Structure 1
Amino acid sequence: MAEQTREQSESRLTDRGRATRERILRAAADMMYVRGVAMTTLDDVRAASGTSKSQLYRHYPDKEALMRDVIALQAAELLERQQRHLQRLSSFRGLERWRDALVERNALHNGAYGCPLGSLASELADQDEGARETIARHFSAWERLLEDGLARMKESGLLKPEADAKALATGLMAALQGGYLLAQTAQDVDPMKIALDMAIAHVRTHAVCPEDRSPGSDGDSR
């Protein structure tokens, strides 16, 4: 019902109103990612977005409403990027390219801020049950992209029939999120790459062909 109300409100906005709302939301997303949710106030967002109090409260009457839209924005953009990398995943080389894209993107800030979705989860999961459930659904959608790719690898004969695509996807996701945290703490992406390399190496232990069990041995360019 709340989602429907927001959609109805959005549909009534003028182009100028939508631009203002987008400016507020982008400013909040950037600040919550860098500073954290707790350290970001509505006054901070108002100043960063160049809006008046009346404009801000017209679109976001409280911080919780703004936070919900920040979660939705971060998840939508993250999952769109991940879908581009994972929708055709069907080889070990594809897993390595996925790893490379994640590490390269995180290296832009020396790993300083972590995963956009994971950072929100670590701060909100114990404080806001609704936010926790929403973020959990987004993580499940991300993990399913990996699981579907691993299932395609089973279907094509790269992975053994008994390989558990769901469990392997969970392992990759756990390595990724742990790697994000270590990279954030060290402000160095090397721990993240090591964690992902080890997780991919574990997936390789389920390869059908012995030659596919070593990094760089997969000749499939997909």
Structure 2
Amino acid sequence: MPAAATVLTDRGRATRDRIVAAAATLIHERGVAGTSLDDVRAVTATSKSQLYHYFTDKSALVRAVIELQVDQVLTAQQPELGGATSMAGLRRWRDRLIALNEQDARGCPLGRLASELTDSDPAARAALTAGFARWQGRLATGLETMRGDGALGPGADPQALALGLLAAVQGGLLLAQATGSVAPLRTALDLALDSVEARTVPLAATRTPAGVDG
């Protein structure tokens, strides 16, 4: 039976989680190529047979790391990401991202993986693509709410706007990491949010004029 399909006990799940967490830290610091299974074994004090009990190979471990990092990246943006259902909410989310990256200038772990993973590991790249799609989907949900509330014009495409916001985040973070300043992230997000705001409907236009029956 493949390691990925193994039914885990509570103790086994805790051990697996500990291995994935340690691997995530090493990969964020050293990259995928710079992190070996022996490195992970040394940090977690696990044997080779124990490691292969949970992961069939390095690719399987990298996929588990991606899943963990996606969860961590999205969780770190809460509750602002879930509350990004208005321009004010989107700007609070923007402030949250900037604050997070002022604390940790190493950049987005997903963005770093994207620059490193190639077609030589299509399964890992597919997991990363799915992770970005989750992030885009969370943003699109908030923008769909805005359109449903009449705050976005009927021609606005929530998925396209969400993709633009996500691209601004990743591009801004890449430059922020290179320059050691969050200024590129701040600028990229502000420009992307200005683009969203340009597609909003003025509040007065969503109200029934005085003296006109609805």
If the TM-score is normalised by the length of the shorter chain, which range does it land in? 0.7 to 0.9
1:198 and 2:181 aligned: no
TM-score (norm 1): 0.82
**Residues of 2 paired with 1:209 and 1:164: CA distance?**
18
Candidates 47, 53, 73, aligned match of 1:52 = 47
Identify which range, 51-60 or 89-98, moves more after superposition: 51-60
**Residues of 2 paired with 1:131 and 1:204: CA distance?**
35
Candidates 78, 81, 94, aligned match of 2:89 = 94
Secondary structure in 2 aligned to 1:85? coil
**Which residues of 2 match residues 102-181 of structure 1 at below 5 A?**
102-109=97-104, 111-112=105-106, 114-181=107-174
Which residue number in structure 1 is paired with residue 212 of structure 2?
none
1:28 and 2:18 aligned: no
Deviation at 1:37, TM superposition (A): 0.5
Aligned residues with identical type, % of pairs:
49
Residues 136 and 45 of structure 1, relative CA distance in 2, 3 Å threshold: same
Residues 63 and 103 of structure 1, relative CA distance in 2, 3 Å threshold: same
Q: Deviations over 1:87-136 (max 9, x none)?
A: 33221110111111111112212x22x21222212211443222222211
Do the aligned partners of 2:151 and 2:203 also contact (CA within 8 Å) in 1? no
Q: Over aligned residues, Cα RMSD in angstroms? A: 2.2
Residue type matched to 2:154 in 1? P
1:66 and 2:85 aligned: no
Which residue number in structure 1 is paired with residue 209 of structure 2?
none
Do the aligned partners of 1:89 and 1:152 also contact (CA within 8 Å) in 2? no
In the comparison of the two structures, how many residue pairs are matched?
204
**Residues of 2 paired with 1:207 and 1:17: CA distance?**
50
Do the aligned partners of 1:82 and 1:142 also contact (CA within 8 Å) in 2? no
**Residues of 2 paired with 1:208 and 1:12: CA distance?**
52
Residue type matched to 1:192 in 2? L
Deviation at 1:178, TM superposition (A): 0.2
**Residues of 1 paired with 2:17 and 2:140: CA distance?**
33
**Residues of 1 paired with 2:68 and 2:178: CA distance?**
25
**Residues of 1 paired with 2:140 and 2:74: CA distance?**
14
Stretches (4+) displaced over 4 A:
none
Deviation at 1:83, TM superposition (A): 6.2
Deviation at 1:32, TM superposition (A): 0.6
**Which residues of 2 match residues 2-41 of structure 1 at below 5 A?**
6=4, 8-9=5-6, 11-13=7-9, 15-41=10-36
